[in-house]
């Protein structure tokens, strides 16, 4: 099983970006932790980050036939990008949306997600640990579906 982990704009700044909101863990550290979890779960993961909306859409398209599911933190595009939701729906892979911060406790413009209605699940507000929870939850669900098939 192969899972893609997709990060959107400004998440390359994790570790130094608004640490009171996003913490001190870098994206490289998040990716390293996810690799350990993937090894434990016996799956493959590929971690990607891009700042551009079009590039993220292209990355999603490139997952067709390569991945079984996606963990995605689309950053600010989560709140605005119908194109990204269409791309994720278009490749028809289950995905879990992640937000490091509790977007529902922040500014009103962060309280709506364009992606959530198409997501398998959403993990919000648990810091960078949320990526690991999303990965474990996604793999658990994919395995359950496999067993049921």
List contacts with ligand DQA (CB under 6 A): 10, 73, 75-76, 78, 99-101, 103, 110
Q: List all residues 6 or more positions away from 99 whose beta carbon is below 8 Å from its beta carbon.
A: 73, 78, 122, 123, 124, 125, 130
- For residues 27 and 50, give the distance between their C-alpha atoms in angstroms, rounded to a whole number: 12
Tell me how far, at minimum, the Cβ of 148 lies from ligand DQA, in Å. Answer: 32
- Answer whether 33's CB lies under 8 Å from 132's CB: yes
Q: Which is nearer to ligand DQA, 2 or 111 (CB)?
A: 111
Q: Which is nearer to ligand DQA, 51 or 89 (CB)?
A: 51
Q: Which is nearer to ligand DQA, 10 or 89 (CB)?
A: 10
CB atoms near residue 16 (< 10 Å): 9
Q: Ramachandran region of residue 30, left (φ > 0), alpha (ψ -120 to 50) or beta? A: alpha
Annotation marks residue 79 as catalytic: no
Tell me how far, at minimum, the Cβ of 147 lies from ligand DQA, in Å. Answer: 32
Q: Which is nearer to ligand DQA, 79 or 136 (CB)?
A: 79
Annotation marks residue 131 as catalytic: no
8-state DSSP, 47: E
- Answer whether 97's CB lies under 8 Å from 123's CB: yes
Tell me how far, at minimum, the Cβ of 10 lies from ligand DQA, in Å. Answer: 5
- Ranked by CB distance to ligand DQA, the top (closest) residue is 75
Catalytic positions: 22, 99
């Amino acid at each position: 099983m192969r899972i893609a982990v997709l990060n959107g704009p400004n998440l390359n700044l994790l570790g130094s970006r608004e640490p009171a909101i996003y913490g001190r863990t870098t994206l490289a550290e998040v990716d390293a932790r996810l690799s350990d979890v993937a090894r434990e779960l016996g799956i493959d993961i590929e971690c990607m980050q891009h700042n551009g909306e079009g590039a993220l859409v292209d990355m999603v398209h490139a997952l067709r036939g390569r991945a079984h599911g996606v963990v995605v933190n689309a950053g600010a595009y989560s709140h605005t990008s119908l194109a990204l939701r269409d791309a994720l729906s278009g490749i028809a892979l289950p995905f879990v949306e992640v937000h490091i911060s509790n977007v529902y406790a922040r500014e009103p413009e962060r309280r709506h997600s364009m992606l959530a209605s198409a997501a398998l699940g959403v993990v919000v507000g648990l810091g960078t640990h949320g990526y690991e929870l999303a990965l474990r939850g996604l793999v658990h669900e994919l395995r359950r579906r496999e067993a049921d098939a």
